[in-house]
Amino acid sequence: MTDFVASRAFDRDEPDTAGSSPSVAYPPLAASDTLSIETVTRVHHWNAHLFSFAISRPPAFRFRSGEFVMIGLQGENRPLLRAYSIASPAYADELEFLSIKVADGALTSRLQGIEAGDGLYLGRKPTGTLVTDALLGGSRLFLLATGTGLAPFLSLVRDPDIYERFGQIVLVHSARQVSDLAWREQLESHLADDPLVRDAALLQFHYVPTVTREPFRTQGRIAALTEDGRLFDGVSGPRRLDPATDRVMLCGSMAMNRDFAARLQLLGFVEGSNATPGHFVLERAFVG
């Protein structure tokens, strides 16, 4: 199992509770060896606890689809940074992110108020394990997300390379409410608005949204869909996960990652890494 102790340390700059106080006047952003200052170009609020935003992309900023990067605002004494998966495709001019709004969260209590034109810190070194380099070849790629764990997969499904490497791409997004199903329209359209992948996606991409706390056409957690076979509706091949043919990427809460990884290991799936590719990879959508 991947050890996230290092990424957790990387994720925090405790203690800095400056984010929760609206009356504090923060010093201006200051670029450094590790951080650039970018400009917010768009903000979209999906509902009361979920929003997305795009920022300018430095010309030298490179990342692999599925990676995350540190972003943030200025705190009272130093930058207040958090890890964020990049939701935009690697070829896009801007960098887009999907964010939770944690009411008393040090960063997101302030971040949810950003507007076009505002400045934001961007780390210079993206990283992560949800990359196809960490997977062996296979015929079906299952991308299993809960909540904001959708973000890295939004980048991956718009990467033309994965349609060359895998015959079918199945994106499963489990959310509490229908309004949490961010980008649902684009995903249901088989990415019709993306000229680079739409032809391949029409034939190879499957989107399976599922909602757990209100009525929807598909209900239940991802494990339930796997067990009763609904995960495989419309997908060719066996109605079960098989390490001989299938590759899996997991991005969700610690509990979801742990439970599903254990399930995969029982089926004979071996976790991969950048150094040693395997049958599945995982990354936390958040710490806590």
Ligand X SMILES: NC(=O)c1ccc[n+]([C@@H]2O[C@H](COP(=O)([O-])OP(=O)(O)OC[C@H]3O[C@@H](n4cnc5c(N)ncnc54)[C@H](OP(=O)(O)O)[C@@H]3O)[C@@H](O)[C@H]2O)c1
| List of residues contacting ligand X (CB under 6 A) | 49, 100, 146-147, 174-177, 180, 212-213, 221-223, 253, 255-256, 259
Count Cα neighbours of 193 within 13 Å in the Cβ-side half-sphere.
Answer: 8
Nearest by Cα to 249 from 172, 176, 174:
172
Asked if 148 touches ligand FAD (CB under 6 A), the answer is yes
Check binding of 129 to ligand FAD (CB under 6 A): no
By a kind-dependent CB cut-off of 5 to 8 A, residue 82 interacts, out of ligand FAD, ligand X, none, with ligand FAD
Burial of 154 (0-12, 13-18, 19+ CB in 10 A): buried
Any contact of residue 103 with ligand FAD (CB under 6 A)?
no
CB 243 within 8 A of CB 266: no
Nearest residue (CB) to ligand FAD, 82 versus 140: 82
Stretch that binds ligand FAD, among 58-66, 146-154, 170-178, 228-236 (CB under 6 A): 146-154
Out of ligand FAD, ligand X, none, what residue 68 binds, judged by CB under 5 to 8 A for its kind, is: ligand FAD
Binding mask 34-73 toward ligand FAD (x if CB under 6 A, else -) reads: ----------------------------------x-----
Site membership for ligand FAD, residue 102 (CB under 6 A): yes
Asked if residues 102 and 108 have their Cβ atoms less than 8 Å apart, the reply is yes
Closer to ligand FAD at the Cβ: 16 or 242?
A: 16
Q: Which residue has the tokens 């939770």?
A: 100
Q: Does residue 131 belong to the site contacting ligand FAD (CB under 6 A)?
A: no
CB contact at 8 A, 74 and 29: yes
Strands (DSSP E) found in the chain: 35-47, 50-56, 68-74, 79-85, 94-100, 119-123, 140-146, 168-175, 205-211, 246-252, 280-284
